[in-house]
């Protein structure tokens, strides 16, 4: 009896997992990568979550080509300090750090990549 019950329970879990994986697929199709990544994390699909986050980063960054601007800074050996518009924490970008913070490491506020692009543009011109 106990075995049958646990079998049923397992089957249900597998089904739920399948449904949630399908949900991830749909979120990905809709371009809601962050939500899809969070869902992946809950399902223990950490690698997939990472892929989705990188995908989102690429898509967000490409239109303004912040990466290109940062590379220009790095080539010049310059590092630009900018501040989080929410808490004022100093963030560095350029030769010392080519990573773009999408989220402030200090307060968690979501930062506008476009603002950073404008700032670097001003500096370069
Ligand atoms: Zn902040």
**What's the CA-to-centroid distance between 12 and ligand 1, angstroms?**
43
**What's the CA-to-centroid distance between 25 and ligand 1, angstroms?**
32
pLDDT tens-digit readout, 11-24? 768 888 888 889 99
Cα separation, 123 vs 82, whole angstroms: 11
Percentage of the chain with pLDDT > 90? Answer: 40
Give the pair of three-digit tokens for residue 16.
């739920």
pLDDT tens-digit readout, 41-59? 999 999 999 999 988 777 6
Q: What DSSP assignment string belongs to 62-121? A: GGGTHHHHHHHHHHTT-EEEEE-TTT--EEEEESS--PPPSB-TTT-PBPPHHHHHHHHH
**What's the CA-to-centroid distance between 63 and ligand 1, angstroms?**
24
Q: Is the pTM of this model over 0.85?
A: no
Mean pLDDT in the chain? Answer: 85
**What's the CA-to-centroid distance between 82 and ligand 1, angstroms?**
11
Exposure letters 12-39 (e unless 16+ CB within 10 A, then b): eeeeeeeeeeeebeebbeeebbeebbbb
**What's the CA-to-centroid distance between 24 and ligand 1, angstroms?**
30
**What's the CA-to-centroid distance between 111 and ligand 1, angstroms?**
8
**Which of 73-77, 104-108, 117-121 has the weakest average pLDDT?**
117-121
- Position 63 scores a pLDDT of 58
Give the pair of three-digit tokens for residue 68.
């290109």
Whether 90 has a pLDDT exceeding 80, the answer reads yes
Q: Which residue has the higher pLDDT, 10 or 79?
A: 79
**What's the CA-to-centroid distance between 117 and ligand 1, angstroms?**
18
């Amino acid at each position: 009896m106990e075995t049958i019950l646990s079998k049923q329970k397992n089957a249900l879990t597998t089904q739920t997992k399948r449904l949630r994986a399908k949900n991830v697929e749909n979120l990905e199709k809709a371009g809601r990568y962050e939500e899809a990544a969070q869902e992946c994390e809950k399902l223990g699909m950490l690698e997939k979550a990472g892929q989705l986050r990188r995908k989102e980063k690429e898509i967000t960054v490409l239109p303004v080509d912040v990466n290109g601007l940062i590379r220009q800074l790095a080539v010049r050996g310059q590092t630009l300090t900018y501040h989080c518009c929410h808490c004022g924490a100093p963030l560095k970008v350029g030769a010392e750090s080519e990573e773009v913070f999408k989220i402030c490491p200090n307060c968690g506020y979501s930062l506008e990549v476009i603002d950073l692009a404008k700032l670097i543009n001003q500096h370069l011109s």
